[in-house]
Amino acid sequence: MSVEEKLEKLGVKLPEAPAPKGNYVGAKWARNIAFSCGQGPFSTTKRGLVGKELTLEEGYQAARETALNCLAQLKKHLGSLDSIKQVLQVVGFINSAEGFMDQPSVLNGFTDLLIEIWGDPGGKPARAALPVHHPGWIAIEAWMVVELEE
């Protein structure tokens, strides 16, 4: 089953890759390692601090949407997500209210989707869930690194 068929079975639609908002590319690869650029959630997602303007559940959903945007970038540049062998790393910056300490649970929205697609261990990355505090900014920015089939 292709990655896009798995997404469809999960009831998830891969969006169009968002256009870069600066002087960078959406994804890049060397040999069999590919990197998505940093992505955020869909533009329809509420902005603000998780733990204040957004609940943990809304942060989780924003992280899931961010994963879809990263996958869309990889698909745009690789031509297909089926060339991904495994997910190596995810780094996420969670826009957090003062005192909010559950960044890992927010980033689970990103990595749970990857595990639903590639299984465990293929979809389970090494990762970092880091707090940032920037009122009015998107709830999360994250990127991913994947290994491609030979």
Residue-wise pLDDT for 96-132, tens only, equals: 999 999 999 999 999 999 999 999 999 999 999 999 9
DSSP secondary structure, 49-104, as one string: -BTTTB-HHHHHHHHHHHHHHHHHHHHHHHS-GGGEEEEEEEEEEEEB-TT---HH
Residue-wise pLDDT for 27-53, tens only, equals: 999 999 999 999 999 999 999 999 999
| pTM of the predicted model as reported, rounded to 2 decimal places | 0.97
Domain ranges of the chain: 55-150
Fold of 55-150: 60s Ribosomal Protein L30; Chain: A; (3.30.1330)
